[in-house]
Amino acid sequence: MRTVDLIDKKKRGGNLSKKEIDFLLDGYIQGKVEDYQMSAFLMAVYFNGMSDEELLNFTINMKNSGEIIKLKSSKKFLVDKHSTGGVGDKITIILSPILASLGMGTAKLSGKGLGHTGGTIDKFESLNNFKFSQNNKELLNILNSTGIGLMGYSEKVVPLDKKIYSLRDVTATVDSIPLIASSIMSKKLAVESDIIVLDVKAGDGAFMKNISQAEELSKRMVNIGKNYGRKTIAIISEMDEPLGYNIGNSLEIIESIDSLNGNFSDDIKEVVYEIIYQILLFRKKVTSYSEAKDIIDKLIESKKPLKLLQKFLNLSGVEDNVTENVNLIKIADNKLKIISNKEGYINKISAKKIGEAAMIIGAGRSKKDDKIDYSVGIKLHKKVLDYVKKGEILAEIYYNDNAKLSESKILVEEAFLIEDFKKNSIKKTIIKVIQ
């Protein structure tokens, strides 16, 4: 078997067998297949795609290239929830303690933010002394105590994905749907769980810019999970405007705590409740959305999720009782108000521009090794479909360094589209559920 023959086969639209995929990927991670050969193969995949069988075998090999996070000894029903990335996406922080209150466990590797999208690791690390679990034993201890099992990505988990992604990044193959699906699902399958829930974002602030792309990616990932034997659900949600009101690490922790106190923004509530409903439906705990809603409402009222979140934070090194007093969470002292210069309905708030505005003042990274300022960010005062008067506050920028403040201000102002008519009367965040 020769690598060049496998490249040629895929170039001509052929499907590779498991044996051929294993030969190619094993050879690459061992250094027997050259970067230029793998680059050629990735470009062939970009143009010709992969069959479901090929994609499953490709993903399993990726998954098997590193350590498996073993959590089954926890005896809990384990949920691995993944978001494809957005602006103001704090769903994991809110969802995990609610699932824990229902007797389930979160089994999840979390990532850092890059570009205009935020990362769960950065949000938690905005709290004083917070440290994610460093190994399986620490993760299991906290998972068993709280039901919340979160840790950062390890270099030892799916190392092949990192090696291949570095090639995709420089060969214009990042946006290949099969390669995206394999990258995400190899890491999901490397963590033991009972169900994978994928929150696939679509729109201005998401990687998938339109619904058809998001649907295609969702179907490929759900098929990988199904063919592997792992229950997988994809929920496509809108990311044309930021999720919730707060964008920025400390600010998003504060909004998460507010949400667990029952003060949800409509869009956050819609996503959180839908995910829990789908999980309870799969487990045959409910037969309708209204049943699930009643259960969640009562849990929120009981404050149990909030107490479990605080316990998770304490076990992760945070000494402050931040769920009781959000003023203990450090946010930037300086604020710049963005004022509306006209009256009308807000028909759009560009998630991408808001995300970029937050990144520019230090809330995010333009490069992987950039340092971030956890305390800065943007707080929206209005959402899409809201009516605004001239002179009202649209948003506030929380900042420490004013070097790029004017650039950030321009982006926030440009993000708001205010017109004298309301484009839509109803706004829905959940677009479609695929399983």
Hunting for tokens 């560009």 — which residue is that? 350
Exposure string for 359-388, b = 16+ CB within 10 A, e = fewer: bbbbbbbeeeeeebbbbbbbbbebbbbeeb
Catalytic status, residue 187: yes
> Rounded to whole angstroms, how far apart are CA atoms 393 and 379?
10
What is the DSSP code string of 91-127?
HHHHHHHHHHHTTEEEEEEE---BTTB--HHHHHTTS
Catalytic status, residue 168: yes
Query: Sign of the C-alpha dihedral, residues 337, 340, 346, 350?
Result: negative
**Residues forming a β-bridge with 78:** 105
Query: CB under 8 Å to 211, separation ≥6 — which residues?
Result: 202, 236, 431, 432
Catalytic residue among 89, 122, 161, 194: 161
Query: Sign of the C-alpha dihedral, residues 300, 84, 143, 284?
Result: positive
> Rounded to whole angstroms, how far apart are CA atoms 63 and 195?
17
Q: What type of residue sits at position 131? A: K
Catalytic status, residue 82: yes
Catalytic status, residue 161: yes
Catalytic residue among 63, 168, 365, 409: 168
Catalytic status, residue 116: no
Catalytic residue among 10, 90, 187, 352: 187
Catalytic residue among 96, 183, 265, 350: 183
Catalytic residue among 82, 269, 311, 409: 82
Phi, psi (rounded to 5 degrees) for 414: -70, -25
Residues 319, 209: contact at Cβ < 8 Å?
no
State the catalytic residues.
82, 161, 168, 183, 187
